[in-house]
Amino acid sequence: MAATKEQLISAVDRAIAGDWEAAHKATQALSGDATADWLHAVLHKIEGDHDNSRYWYRRTVHEFEEFGDPKAELAAIRAGLAC
């Protein structure tokens, strides 16, 4: 099943709010969706698990080094969902 925009917005909003566990659980449930996989990559970047983060980035069109600040990256994901 494809992730809905509402599910993705909820997951990224949890990440922005600092609720890593809830955001991570949501992205795991949405695995395979390009935006969810990108968010999953950012969450592992925030966690400091860079190897796992890079794994998730490889599943997207984005790169680990694309954003220097994970908060800015979360904001970019959220802005993309607002369209």
- Give pLDDT tens digits for 18-73: 999 999 999 999 999 999 999 999 999 999 999 999 999 999 999 999 999 999 99
Residue 17 confidence (pLDDT) above 60: yes
Element (H, E) at 65: none
pLDDT of residue 3: 80
Domain ranges of the chain: 5-81
Q: How far from the centroid of its chain's Cα atoms is residue 74's Cα?
A: 7
Distance CA 15, CA 11 (A): 6
pLDDT of residue 83: 76
Instruction: Indicate yes or no: pTM above 0.85.
Output: yes
